[in-house]
Amino acid sequence: MKNGPHTKQVSREYVPDHPRTSDGKCPGRRSAGALLSPERPAPAVPRPKGHALRLSPRFYGLSKVTRWALLLAGFLLFTASSCDPDPVVVCPECPAGETDREITGPNISTPYVLEVPDYMPAPILNPDNPLTVEGIELGRRLFYDPILSVDSTISCASCHRQELAFTDGRALAVGVEGRMVNRSAMSLVNLAFNPNGFNWDGSAIQLWEQAIHPVENMLEMDESWDNVLRKLRRHPDYPQRFRAAFGVDRTSEITREMAAKAMAQFERTIISADSHYDRVVYQNTEFFTEEEQLGADSLFFVEDVPAGVLHPGCGHCHNQPSFGNNRFSNNGIEDVESLEDFPDLGLGGVTGSRFDNGKFRAPTLRNIAVTAPYMHDGRFATLEEVLDSYAAGGHGVENEDPNITGFPLSAREKTALLAFLRSLTDETLLTDERYANPFE
């Protein structure tokens, strides 16, 4: 892949500051030889006969060694000012004050095949951003590098920590200078299976588009992409990595789209499919405990029940094997008088439809035991609180999901359901070196 689809092309032709004459000389600059040239007469001061250049008497008062040293220094100074092309030139299409330079090194990327277990859905890949070994590694480095933030204090990984299944353990995410974001940081696990938009409200159509916005958000990284690109282009390592991943020839060709696409490539490889549940149900290498089995069969996966019988039925919105449905719904946690009264409009803020107000994505329940607090605003600190809320039912808001009906839940059933939910934790994911910080 020579250049990404959004690569900005710049001229490869070097234009010197001073054009050369037909004989290759540079009339706008003086060479050392020009000092003694008959074409450059000295000021109208009589020259002593036999001398090509009048020098100060002080010069002749210096020692012979000193005089030769001064002449040599002058020669080197004017030689350095000759009009040979500089390796760094002004880049008219770059942010103000930026320079452009050639990037050397390999420029052919290596295709990467994303392998997932056959019991998982087929990954949804972007043909405009194919996975490559070099792109994924570049994305991993950018993901963990605080260079993207205005004060170099936080990175993507600050809000998406591997040991917490790429969440941050906070009710609301925290940006630079401790600024509070208005939503909880979503898990980045299994984004490769997501077909219809990203973020809690689906505001990003493509995964790489999602990677662009946190940099510019004043509550998150509060940086401009112009500044980020300036830092990346001047970095001692990143230009070569962009060349290897996207085939760029000059630093001016590095774009925000390339940076975002590299991060999207990395995020798309974060696959969770090796939990205790997977080993029991799909791999047949482990067994459920009695509590886990009760939580699965009698509470989570409930299909054929008599009419009027209320039950948790979590699987209606959190389908296996992904344990999410990639749909948006009002899950009944907000008590409002009308659809216009939601404190956070969610999907409605994107679509403009009042009936979408208060709807949010149903996230995956994989690794749910390590991703507290819960909901888009982190209002529930524990899974027990989540179950209590659903058991109590919704608030009768016009667009509530019909599955939010409330249900009885005994202490034993709650314990069983919690045990099953904990079986969805993928311990391998939490320590997998492929997703770890490359700078540690």
Residue 16 lies in a domain: no
- In a shared domain, residues 372 and 261: no
Q: Write down which residue in 272, 300, 325 finishes a domain.
A: 272
Residue 406 lies in a domain: yes
- In a shared domain, residues 165 and 251: yes
- In a shared domain, residues 262 and 303: no
Residue 140 lies in a domain: yes
Domain ranges, residue 393: 276-424
- In a shared domain, residues 215 and 302: no
- In a shared domain, residues 188 and 235: yes
- In a shared domain, residues 111 and 258: yes
Instruction: Please report the pLDDT score of residue 259 as a whole number.
Output: 99
Distance CA 290, CA 310 (A): 23
Q: Write down which residue in 256, 272, 288 finishes a domain.
A: 272
Instruction: Please report the pLDDT score of residue 307 as a whole number.
Output: 56
Residue 148 lies in a domain: yes
| Dihedral sign from CA coordinates of 125, 126, 128, 131 | negative
Measured in degrees and rounded to the nearest 5, phi and psi for residue 338 equal -145, 170
Instruction: Please report the pLDDT score of residue 18 as a whole number.
Output: 35
Tell me the DSSP string of 325-391: -S-EEB-S----SSGGG-SS-BTHHHH--GGGTTBEE----TTGGGS-SBSTT--BSSHHHHHHHHH
Residue 12 lies in a domain: no
> Residue 367: how many CA atoms within 13 Å on its side-chain side?
27
The residue ranges of the chain whose pLDDT is under 70 are: 1-98, 303-310
Geometric angle at alpha carbon 401, from 399 and 311, rounded to 5° = 150
- In a shared domain, residues 248 and 358: no
Instruction: Please report the pLDDT score of residue 315 as a whole number.
Output: 86
- In a shared domain, residues 329 and 374: yes
- In a shared domain, residues 166 and 284: no
Q: Would strands 328-329 and 99-101 be described as parallel, antiparallel, or unpaired?
A: unpaired
Which CATH number do you get for residue 250?
Answer: 1.10.760.10
- In a shared domain, residues 55 and 118: no
- In a shared domain, residues 316 and 212: no
Residue 13 lies in a domain: no
Q: Write down which residue in 22, 48, 80 finishes a domain.
A: 80
Question: What is the pTM for the complete model shown?
Answer: 0.78
Number of domains in the chain: 3
Instruction: Please report the pLDDT score of residue 316 as a whole number.
Output: 85
> Residue 318: how many CA atoms within 13 Å on its side-chain side?
18
- In a shared domain, residues 325 and 188: no
Distances (CA, A) of 286 to 228, 278, 369: 48, 9, 19
